[in-house]
Amino acid sequence: MSVSDRAENVRVTTLENGLRVVSETMPGLATVAMGIWSGAGSRHERAEEQGLAHLLEHMAFKGTTRRNALQIAEEIEAVGGEVNAETNTEYTAYYARTLGPDMPLAVDILTDILADPAFDMTELAREKEVILQEIGSYEDTPDEVVFDMVMETAFAGAPIGRRILGTPKTVRAQNPKTMRGFMDRTYRLPSMVVSAAGAIDHDALIHEVGSRLASFSHDQASEPELALYTGGDSRRVKALEQAHLVFGFDAPSWRDPDHYAMHVFSNILGGGMSSRLFQEVREKRGLCYEIYSFFSPFSDSGFFAIYGGTGEMQLTDYTPLVLDTLCDATKSVTMAEVSRAKAQMKMSLLTALESPGRRAEQMARHMLAYGRVLPRDEMVSMIDAITIDDVCRVASRSLQAPPTIAAIGPIKPLMSIDAMVARLGTPVPKMN
């Protein structure tokens, strides 16, 4: 094994099989947050596998050959701990929180559920029904549906644009064979990370992890299909009280240094109560209750968007105002706005460093994205270095690609895609 990066209290060990183990000892804490992150998420699924990564997450705690579902819950809760999991576009995480001395139990449970899942047919059938109910719940929530619509439209035909939950048809089609096949293909040790923060001893963690995951392949997993941004227009007229709208644009990836400037621009435009969208659209005009912008970077692409909800009668005023505010912000950012956004970014960053759960996640994401944990000073320096020109440049670059529009609700008054393109001065998207 090789050990590197002892900056701050962070240690990283790469085992001979390719598995990376990272930890940060946080003095004064009595608990440890740890987990196993696999660089396999919904974008790694094949068309017929949609929802499989999320189904695996649901099945994680439903039993192994050593423990049934109740035993898993009883063992971790007997020491006051907790376990959970989540599925993302690019990774799946299985994590636990315990007192420091109970870390070995957390490692044992998490490695057991990954290396030796039972995939019991009764549990699988029951969990499929739970996910079908979850899908139904999402369909009843328009402000959730519109985000699925915008991703499916922005990355038309690409796996990264598919719904993480899958469809009822693809969820029902999964079985132990397809689940094991997906894990064999995508859960490879070089693309997995064990991360822990809090009351943790790195050498003890290495000892506990040992060869517990040795059954996984030591080979690199294949790269997922490229995330090709297309833009487009997706609308669904539905009898609702509000129209829910997302205007989206191409944006930098995690690996693009400009992603920090994009975060700053998103914050300035719609990141809080002092943001331009909040002030112009809600405070001055009263055209909505909720409006914000967000930036989601991926490994090879990114997506920047504005979400808001408004009434049918307000649509004709709402849309032009949002688009004009966006356009104006790309060329009139002020030093005060940049300074305020950078301060908020640093506050968010430093807050994450004080939480063992968020820190463990941050380190795992860094390892998956960059192959190393970015030191705090380096991240702060990159934020501090952002200039007004950087912010305007990266924002203008996003508007050089065709826009994406997703809308659901009473949206008949919504202006056409051609009218939006003309107002934005962006290319016309190719309609699918």
Q: Write out the two tokens for 342.
A: 């950078």
- Whether 118 maps to a domain, the answer reads yes
Mean predicted confidence (pLDDT) in 341-366: 92
Under the banding of pLDDT at 50, 70 and 90, the label for residue 202 is: very high
- Whether 227 maps to a domain, the answer reads no
pLDDT tens per residue across span 70-100: 999 999 999 999 999 999 999 999 999 999 9
Chain centre to alpha carbon of residue 196: 19
Under the banding of pLDDT at 50, 70 and 90, the label for residue 351 is: confident
Is pLDDT above 60 for 6? no
Q: Are residues 265 and 361 in the same domain?
A: yes
Q: Are residues 172 and 244 in the same domain?
A: no
The pTM (predicted TM-score) of the whole model is 0.92
Torsion angles phi and psi, residue 82, rounded to 5: -150, 150
- Whether 146 maps to a domain, the answer reads yes
Look at residues 175, 209, 243 and tell me which one is the last residue of a structural domain: 209
- Whether 223 maps to a domain, the answer reads no
Look at residues 209, 242, 264 and tell me which one is the last residue of a structural domain: 209
CA atoms of 395 and 389, how far apart (whole Å): 10
What is the 3 state secondary structure string of the chain? CEEECCCCCEEEEECCCCCEEEEEECCCCCEEEEEEEECCCHHHCCHHHCCHHHHHHHHCCCEECCCEHHHHHHHHHHCCCEEEEEECCCCEEEEEEEEHHHHHHHHHHHHHHHHCECCCHHHHHHHHHHHHHHHHHHHCCHHHHHHHHHHHHHCCCCHHHCCCCCCHHHHHHCCHHHHHHHHHHHCCHHHEEEEEEECCCHHHHHHHHCCCCCCCCCCCCCCCCCCCCCCEEEEEECCCCCEEEEEEEECCCCCCCCHHHHHHHHHHHHCCCCCHHHHHHHHCCCCCCCEEEEEEECCCCEEEEEEEEECHHHHHHHHHHHHHHHHHHCCCCCHHHHHHHHHHHHHHHHHHHCCHHHHHHHHHHHHHHHCCCCCHHHHHHHHHCCCHHHHHHHHHHHCCCCCEEEEEECCCCCCCHHHHHHHHCCCCCCCC
Domain of residue 379, residue span: 232-424
Q: Are residues 256 and 181 in the same domain?
A: no
Radius of gyration of the CA atoms of the chain, in A: 23
Q: Are residues 137 and 198 in the same domain?
A: yes
- Whether 222 maps to a domain, the answer reads no
Q: Are residues 249 and 361 in the same domain?
A: yes
CB-based contact 90:43 (threshold 8 Å): yes
Q: Are residues 265 and 405 in the same domain?
A: yes
pLDDT for residue 392: 96
Q: Are residues 31 and 176 in the same domain?
A: yes
Query: Is residue 57 flagged as an active site residue?
Result: yes
Q: In what order do the strands lie in the sheet with 302-310?
A: 232-237, 404-409, 243-250, 302-310, 291-297
Q: Please state the domain count of the chain.
A: 2
Question: With 0-12 CB in 10 A as exposed, 13-18 as middle and 19+ as buried, what is 59?
Answer: buried
Q: Are residues 52 and 170 in the same domain?
A: yes
- Whether 32 maps to a domain, the answer reads yes
pLDDT for residue 3: 38
Residue 316 CA: distances (Å) to CA of 109, 409, 420: 55, 14, 12
Instruction: Please tell me which residue in 57, 123, 208, 361 is annotated as part of the active site.
Output: 57
CA atoms of 201 and 109, how far apart (whole Å): 18
Q: Are residues 128 and 249 in the same domain?
A: no
pLDDT for residue 107: 98
Q: Are residues 295 and 407 in the same domain?
A: yes
Under the banding of pLDDT at 50, 70 and 90, the label for residue 401 is: very high
CATH number at residue 241: 3.30.830.10
CA atoms of 186 and 217, how far apart (whole Å): 9
Q: Are residues 281 and 236 in the same domain?
A: yes
pLDDT for residue 432: 59
Is pLDDT above 60 for 135? yes
pLDDT tens per residue across span 277-323: 999 999 999 999 999 999 999 999 999 999 999 999 999 999 999 99
Residues in the chain: 432
CA atoms of 162 and 174, how far apart (whole Å): 17
- Whether 217 maps to a domain, the answer reads no
- Whether 218 maps to a domain, the answer reads no
Q: Are residues 189 and 313 in the same domain?
A: no
Mean of the per-residue pLDDT values of the chain: 94
